[in-house]
Amino acid sequence: MYRFIRPLLFRLEPESIHGLALTFLRFTGDTPLGWILTNLYKLPNRPVEAFGLKFPNCLGVAAGFDKDGLAWRGLARLGFGHIEIGTVTPYPQVGNPRPRLFRLPEDRALINRLGFPGRGADFVARQLGSPRLPGLVIGVNIGKNKDTSLEDAPEDYLYLYERFSSLADYLVVNVSSPNTVGLRRLQAKKALHELLNALNQERNRKDRTQNHKVPILVKLAPDLSDEELVDAVEVISQTGMDGVVVANTTVKREGLKSPLAGESGGLSGAPLRARSTDLVRRISQLTGGKLPIIGVGGVMDVEDVREKLDAGAELVQVYTGLIYQGPGLVKRIIKEL
């Protein structure tokens, strides 16, 4: 059915239709219509364990789809095993000027330069108070505010850790978006060590007082050189982080056909598939398979999921594939795995 309505949806401005989709999913998550969706997309349990958590299945929603935690209950009705909310910043911010989201149908891709627009940590925290579907895992992806200097960035992440460590099942440190000026510099060895070490120390302190240790993962960019990747993985391991998410969007544009390919921002979708899978494989090799990996980037069908799992990922996330393939993608993937 989705393939028939997609041409109509694609006539609308991308960010506007995304907002409508979130509104629909928010509504269905809290009404009897949600139970219809649950039965329509009902799936067998195929549990997966990663970084100390048990997931109903390996497929999740990547950060960026539901930035403010508005629609996670509706998304859960589609069969996802986990949903990653965010990126959440400490305080509300409008992000970059519109237009800032572009479809590239010829490439089955998106370009976004959103810049972490959102309503801030307090708003998102309130959204996470609703009851969850049994077994659903919720992650929160955290990032610094645009106006926070790189030197002060650890304070933003520590604030967000404190705000969400008791609300989320896991946290993801986003230091890899290309749409906040300078953010990717936090992936450099010294800066990354300072940030992650501060988070781990705070987590250990809180664990001693509250007997609670939320897993922390780090989301990396696909544009790192191999030397930069080796440094980042070394720091992630040394500072006691629990896993990685690879990869974020890319600033590279090789081989694109769309006339919108020159728009600035991060590219996601099918063109990112091979690079993100290569990174999954490389990190698995570097760590001997001991560091849990969530693979994301270019997941359009079950073969793309299998590719990432075979490369060493425990879990896989989708975002752009959901835009191009529709809500039935989740059920098709899980049934065919």
Instruction: Please give the Cα distance from 276 to 222 (Å, whole number).
Output: 6
Instruction: Please give the Cα distance from 243 to 245 (Å, whole number).
Output: 7
Contacts of 303 by beta carbon, 8 Å cutoff, 6+ apart = none
177 is catalytic: yes
The DSSP symbol for 93 reads: B
Helices 273-287, 302-311: crossing angle, 10 deg rounding:
20
From the list 333, 251, 256, the residue with the least C-alpha distance to 300 is: 333
From the list 136, 117, 153, the residue with the least C-alpha distance to 22 is: 117
Contacts of 10 by beta carbon, 8 Å cutoff, 6+ apart = 103, 105
Reading the block at residue 78, the tokens are 């589609």
Reading the block at residue 170, the tokens are 């896991």
Catalytic residue among 177, 258, 276, 284: 177
DSSP 145-200: -TTS-TTTHHHHHHHHHHHHTTT-SEEEEE---TTSTTGGGGGSHHHHHHHHHHHH
CA 24 to chain centre: 21
User: Can you give the length of the chain in residues?
Assistant: 337
The DSSP symbol for 74 reads: H
Reading the block at residue 40, the tokens are 């329509």
DSSP 285-323: HHHTT-S-EEEES---SHHHHHHHHHHT-SEEEESHHHH
251: Cα within 13 Å, side-chain hemisphere: 13
Residue 322 neighbours by CB distance under 10 Å = 21
Reading the block at residue 74, the tokens are 């509706």
Positions annotated as catalytic residues are 177
